[in-house]
Structure 1
Amino acid sequence: MLKPKYQWQLSSEKTSPVQIKAIAEACQLSEVAAKVLINRGYDTPEKAKTFLTPDPQSIHDPFLLHDMQKAVDRIQTAIVNNEKIIVYGDYDADGVTSTTIMFETLNELGANVDYFVPDRFKDGYGPNLDEYKQFIENGVTLLVTVDNGVAGNEPIEYAVTHGMDVVVTDHHELPETLPNATAIVHPRYPGAHYPFSDLSGVGVAFKVASALLDEVPEEFLDLVAIGTVGDLVSLTDENRFLVASGLKVLSEGQRVGLNALLKVSGLENQQINEQDIGFTLAPRLNAVGRIGNAGEAVELLTTFDEEKAELIAKHIDSVNDQRKQLVDTVYNEAILQAKTPDNLAQKTLVITGIGWHQGVLGIVASRLVEATGKPTLVLSGNTEADDLKGSGRSVDALNLFEALNVNRQLYVNFGGHHMAVGLTIKREKVPELRKILENAAETANLDENKLAPLTIDGVIKADQITVAAIKDLANLGPFGTDNPTPEFEIESEKVTNVKQIGANQDHLKFQLSGKDQTIDAIDFKQGRLMPYLQALPEDVRVVGTLELNTWRNQTKPQIMVKDVLIDAVPIIDRRTTKLTVEMFKSQTTYVFFHKKTYEKLQAYLKPEIQVAVLDDSEPSNISLEGNLALVDCPDSLVQFTDWLSKQNPDAMTVYFYQQNNAYLDGMPTREQSAKVFKFFASHSDIDLKKQLPDVVKHLHVDRSMLVFLIQVFFELKFVKIESGRVSYISNPKPQKLSVAPAYQLRKQQIETQEKLLYSKSADLTTWMQACLTDKNKGVAD
């Protein structure tokens, strides 16, 4: 079978037809949407209506946040006294939107304020001592951090002892020892009781702005939406209202810089949703901080000059393209390290490189986690420096911050949360880091072979997927962390029109057929699955999200595939009489039934290719897994059937290459056998190297048949062969040709080749699938 990428977990069915109907009617929704609401805990009309109608009352009082009053008092004092204030930000989407809100708020209040966004490469993450010193020299007396600061003990202590106050506003994990700041505004401050703990950095900055302005500043909601979605925090409670409201503001186009960014991103004059932020806007804002200086992003967000905004937006878009190329380059090198024998044996990965661009290491780590299922740190430096800097990404089962934070003294710099960390470490400490991470995985009983869970909201038929139902589901958004886009298993009759799409043919498109309609489905980066779906169109199971696709003024439902499962083993029929290099490039185990075939093809096989060479006389009893490609044709159908029953493949491609075609040549007739025997009996010595063509011509017997009969006569001791010369043995013992091993082998080959090489494709695949699932299935079938 084709195994899924995830462990499918169907939501417990808590619904009844009466309950579904009641909520559907009360909320004017389709039953599909009503069922999702019930399974997510909104199981009464009242709860469902409350969820579907975000209420401004869900915004909590900003003064409930720890130290908010202290922060407001100190900022207001600085404004009244015209003190120099610096807003110290961060270089990701959450950080630049936080910086913009805080800077614009203080500017609106008449403060003597400027902002500073650290350079990822020069300053690193969070408070930088050298920069703090420079601020003090420049007469800054108040510094306000946004989206950073709780881990900045040393710089903040220096600031306080040298006359600069620091107000920290942050949402990251709190270290054991907190900095000696004037105020620390944080939704999870120990002992404080703010009602919602999952604000993003921009959410905290928005709260400070609300407290300072003594109102909810709706003009900042577009920025709040971008930072909140971009930082992957929980989209529940007040975050849900803030993002929903922010999407409306974003779609109205009130901010010049964002309008320019929407235009270069292809989203101009569109209704913006959370996916547009997560996959288009936030990555571009992040890219500036990854490749250059994120201050440019703040400049874009704060400008009122349309020409300037257009220039910056175009540059940011080009930087994002550069970022994509860098990610691909670094990932291609990093994945080779991940596949070394040592790393394959580990539950975690610490990948190091020389000269890798620091700005893309977090993205590369994410891709490695996706590819391997292992928590991963990706670090890089240069040949001269002793420090390695990098990022880590994790899986749900391992809190990466906690796993590494217990050895905080090991790092030059360190920070992060459950799923992601950033760190700087001395090169010689990397082996110790590997042990710490691996031990944490052992303690957590982490098993990278265990599939990540995928919650499925329900099972629906292809015929139930309508434009109206999808529009109703959209009302459950905005979607994100803790309110994921609904995933459905789609019941269909079969898949049709399977094809590869995209410039490199690396995406998959197909249709799911119901009784009354077919629905288009797209599966990105899975073009390689095309032959599997084509082989078993009625055994494909699909999980995905439902979207609307508008093309040429026609709007149709579309499935964005999350995972595919095929209940039977796909048998891909690629039978051939010629082998090419292109056949040996996929992530497959190539199975050879003859050592000679393998030896001839070794030049085609790169070192990283997995190969299984089985015994020529009898296939090995070893059970193989994964994707298998059967390169050559076995000799014995009985042995092959037995071998097949012991295998556990995800999919199997058959080439069944055969150089000598016993089936077409057939067995020799009595007349042919007698003619050849009489010839050698009457010719005492024949030099095959020189005379074989003449003998073939003289006897009118096919060359391969003549060679076969010589082999049979040799095994029966009718002739002897020495140095390529054949001579007759006088008075040989009378024997039937059928007792010769070569004769028996040829009979087996004919039977095998008839079944494996010349049967119809459908018959072959059906028979092989039966052999794979039932040891009692065999030649008789």
Structure 2
Amino acid sequence: MRRRPAPAAHALAALAGQVGCPVLARLYATRGVSPAQLDYRPQHLLTPDGLHGIDTAVHTVSEVLRDAGRLLVVADYDADGATGCALAVRGLRALGASHVDYLVPSRFSTGYGLSVAVAEAALERRPDLVLTVDNGITSLDGIACLRTAGVPVVVTDHHLPGDRLPPATAIINPRLPGDGFASKHLAGVGVMFYLLLALRRRLREHGWFGAGRAEPNLGQLLDLVALGTVADVVPLDYNNRLLVAQGLARLNAGGGQPGLRALLDLPPGRAAVTATELGFRAGPRLNAAGRMDDMSLGIECLLCDDPATAADMAAALDALNRERRAVQAQMQEQAEADLADLPQPLPAALSLHAADWHPGVLGIVAARVRERCGRPVVALAPAGDGRWRGSARSVSGVHIRDALAQVAAWQPQLLDAFGGHAMAAGLTLAGEQHLPAFAAALADAVLAQTGGVAPDDALDSDGPLGIAELTLELAQRLQQAGPWGQGFPAPLFDDVFTVHETRVVGADHLRLRLSLPGGTPLNAIAWGAAPLRGQLATSVRVAYEPQVNSWRGMRELQLLVRGLSPA
């Protein structure tokens, strides 16, 4: 466990008077937040103008839209792609498009992105224009297939481009070399939102609105942008925090799409929805469709305007998520057994595989192993054609997509395809015989990034809290102070506590009663930590988040335990 350095005095002083809470001022200062970045009003959002290719894209889409042409959205099968797809369909229809349809690839048959197979399926819909969301930047062959058939393609994506760009009519991606957009961390849904903003402006300039056609308020769709941004775990820089904060404000004011409210199980009038709830309630339920079945169910839920029908769809998605959890538990048990057979110290990166693993759950298993071992992890399963598909999850300081690129440069025969970004990536291994070589090459590629030192994914703590600071009121302030997430980490404190009681709850969770010296015992919960119960002494160092626990109409302070170690 590492403690973050104390903030500079001038930065702390600048924030202290503005936020009125010394703890919160310290948290903001250590995260490099300026006083101006605490203003989440929508007028502070970046404009679309810096995005390379935005003018060509807007011209292309607006021409088809005004000619009542057929628009087809091709989305990814994760939460970012699903929210981006629903955003595109709703937004284009609100802007006056007559014919908008969508197509989502299958994780199990076509695989990721606008492949040739997906392009051929798209041509059966007879589109006048194809727009991608959260994919397309590496879809060279599929986009070439569409262009050969005379169908223009506008790519909106946020994944890192390869050495060659696809032959699209326009590409919008803040990660393109030379792109002038100030935020490089938009999720796929965020890129699509900016296209819609620019498209609305162009249509307004052409006199499209009026005479019975109202100009839409695209801000009403920001709940979709918030969910996709949080679920895709992109860094929450100031612009992304603005997008998320505005989406949460819509939900907390009783707005938002009926399908998203159903995924969150929000009754009318319920307030205080947080980014955490988006990430841990709505995100997994939506992702379950693409992991276990077909993401079309998730997209239809987000497109549904009838609350009762949306609730039925959300219930079906919740059932798929429960099925996913059961499959995940079995796979994690196998992964734990495989970990026990690895040499110590562990390699710089871990590559785990099994012939019977479910391809839709690989990313989650990789993430869970990463959390336990503090190493980048790739989990792989057979793709059904002799090749193996894998999902990678990384740790701070290791750019996993770049590591895969290094593997491909060293040993081109290993990988048929790969793509992604710093913290997550996907890949296709050329064959089972390459599994050992890939594992060794990946570990070497990670070491090349870290200067030969194995990654250290220790928890970063904001230090201790005094007894007088550790209150329900502080937990409420911290909950409201976000949105917290990747790149803008939630507050995490640490201290030595006395353990008064431990008991196992649920399948493998640990409920504790802890106290600081001279303090009263507090309730704490450590998810998945039941195996540690027999190892705890009466005094332990705890890394924790103060949390508001609402139960049966009661609200109390609870510690969410992120780490336990000997005092």
Scaled by the length of structure 2, the TM-score of the pair is 0.90
CA gap 1:309/1:376 in 2 versus in 1, 3 angstroms: same
Q: How far did 1:184 drift?
A: 0.3
User: Map of 1:327-726 to 2, 5 A cutoff?
Assistant: 327-341=328-342, 346-381=347-382, 385-406=385-406, 407=408, 409-410=412-413, 411-427=415-431, 428-445=433-450, 451-490=456-495, 494-504=497-507, 506-533=509-536, 535-537=537-539, 540-567=540-567
1:104 matched residue in structure 2 = 90
- Please say if residues 291 and 359 of structure 1, whose CA atoms lie closer than 8 Å, have aligned partners that are also in contact: yes
Matched, 1:33 2:24: yes
2:80 matched residue in structure 1 = 94
Distance in 2 (CA, whole Å) between partners of 1:301 and 1:456 is 37
Distance in 2 (CA, whole Å) between partners of 1:478 and 1:445 is 30
CA deviation map 1:183-203 (0-9, x unaligned):
001112211211111111000
CA gap 1:299/1:21 in 2 versus in 1, 3 angstroms: same
In the alignment, residue 469 of structure 1 is paired with which amino acid? L
Structure 2 residues without counterparts, runs of 5 or longer = 202-215
CA deviation map 1:193-225 (0-9, x unaligned):
111111110000100111122276111110010
In the alignment, residue 356 of structure 2 is paired with which amino acid? G
In the alignment, residue 169 of structure 2 is paired with which amino acid? T
Matched, 1:168 2:155: yes
Structure 1 residues without counterparts, runs of 5 or longer = 1-6, 568-781
In the alignment, residue 91 of structure 2 is paired with which amino acid? T
Distance in 1 (CA, whole Å) between partners of 2:443 and 2:518 is 51
CA gap 1:519/1:446 in 2 versus in 1, 3 angstroms: farther
In the alignment, residue 478 of structure 2 is paired with which amino acid? L
- Please say if residues 135 and 156 of structure 2, whose CA atoms lie closer than 8 Å, have aligned partners that are also in contact: yes
- Please say if residues 169 and 185 of structure 1, whose CA atoms lie closer than 8 Å, have aligned partners that are also in contact: yes
- Please say if residues 394 and 420 of structure 1, whose CA atoms lie closer than 8 Å, have aligned partners that are also in contact: yes
Cα RMSD, aligned residues only: 2.5
Matched, 1:10 2:4: yes
| SS of 1:484 mapped into structure 2 | coil
CA gap 1:438/1:311 in 2 versus in 1, 3 angstroms: same
Distance in 2 (CA, whole Å) between partners of 1:557 and 1:413 is 48
Distance in 2 (CA, whole Å) between partners of 1:392 and 1:526 is 24
CA gap 1:67/1:565 in 2 versus in 1, 3 angstroms: same
Q: How far did 1:512 drift?
A: 1.2
Deviates more, 1:172-181 or 1:215-224: 215-224
Which of 245, 254, 262 lines up with 1:260 in the alignment? 262
In the alignment, residue 458 of structure 1 is paired with which amino acid? G
1:124 matched residue in structure 2 = 111
CA deviation map 1:510-541 (0-9, x unaligned):
221343533322222223444544x433xx32
CA gap 1:164/1:64 in 2 versus in 1, 3 angstroms: same
Distance in 2 (CA, whole Å) between partners of 1:176 and 1:390 is 22
- Please say if residues 210 and 216 of structure 1, whose CA atoms lie closer than 8 Å, have aligned partners that are also in contact: no
- Please say if residues 291 and 361 of structure 2, whose CA atoms lie closer than 8 Å, have aligned partners that are also in contact: yes
| SS of 1:188 mapped into structure 2 | coil
- Please say if residues 496 and 512 of structure 1, whose CA atoms lie closer than 8 Å, have aligned partners that are also in contact: yes
CA gap 1:469/1:282 in 2 versus in 1, 3 angstroms: same
- Please say if residues 11 and 456 of structure 1, whose CA atoms lie closer than 8 Å, have aligned partners that are also in contact: no
| SS of 1:213 mapped into structure 2 | helix
Distance in 2 (CA, whole Å) between partners of 1:28 and 1:371 is 35
| SS of 1:167 mapped into structure 2 | strand
Deviates more, 1:157-166 or 1:286-295: 157-166
Distance in 2 (CA, whole Å) between partners of 1:449 and 1:195 is 32
Q: How far did 1:560 drift?
A: 1.2
CA gap 1:38/1:443 in 2 versus in 1, 3 angstroms: closer
Q: How far did 1:542 drift?
A: 2.1
CA gap 1:355/1:288 in 2 versus in 1, 3 angstroms: same
Q: How far did 1:112 drift?
A: 1.8
CA deviation map 1:613-669 (0-9, x unaligned):
xxxxxxxxxxxxxxxxxxxxxxxxxxxxxxxxxxxxxxxxxxxxxxxxxxxxxxxxx
Identity of aligned residues (%): 31
CA gap 1:498/1:63 in 2 versus in 1, 3 angstroms: same
Distance in 2 (CA, whole Å) between partners of 1:33 and 1:307 is 40
1:696 matched residue in structure 2 = none
2:273 matched residue in structure 1 = 272
| SS of 1:377 mapped into structure 2 | strand
| SS of 2:247 mapped into structure 1 | helix
CA gap 1:357/1:28 in 2 versus in 1, 3 angstroms: closer
**Greater RCO, CA 8 A, separation 6+:** 2
| SS of 2:459 mapped into structure 1 | strand
Distance in 2 (CA, whole Å) between partners of 1:144 and 1:136 is 13
2:139 matched residue in structure 1 = 152
- Please say if residues 236 and 484 of structure 2, whose CA atoms lie closer than 8 Å, have aligned partners that are also in contact: yes
Matched, 1:194 2:181: yes
Distance in 2 (CA, whole Å) between partners of 1:313 and 1:53 is 34
1:662 matched residue in structure 2 = none
Matched, 1:85 2:54: no
Matched, 1:179 2:166: yes
Which of 130, 139, 143 lines up with 2:130 in the alignment? 143
| SS of 2:464 mapped into structure 1 | strand
CA gap 1:513/1:374 in 2 versus in 1, 3 angstroms: closer
In the alignment, residue 119 of structure 1 is paired with which amino acid? S
| SS of 2:364 mapped into structure 1 | helix
Distance in 2 (CA, whole Å) between partners of 1:200 and 1:61 is 16
Distance in 2 (CA, whole Å) between partners of 1:400 and 1:57 is 35
Distance in 2 (CA, whole Å) between partners of 1:28 and 1:236 is 19
Distance in 2 (CA, whole Å) between partners of 1:64 and 1:22 is 30
In the alignment, residue 354 of structure 2 is paired with which amino acid? G
Q: How far did 1:269 drift?
A: 2.7
Q: How far did 1:171 drift?
A: 0.4
Distance in 1 (CA, whole Å) between partners of 2:479 and 2:381 is 42
| Greater gyration radius | 1
1:698 matched residue in structure 2 = none
2:206 matched residue in structure 1 = none
In the alignment, residue 545 of structure 1 is paired with which amino acid? E
In the alignment, residue 470 of structure 1 is paired with which amino acid? A
- Please say if residues 403 and 440 of structure 1, whose CA atoms lie closer than 8 Å, have aligned partners that are also in contact: yes
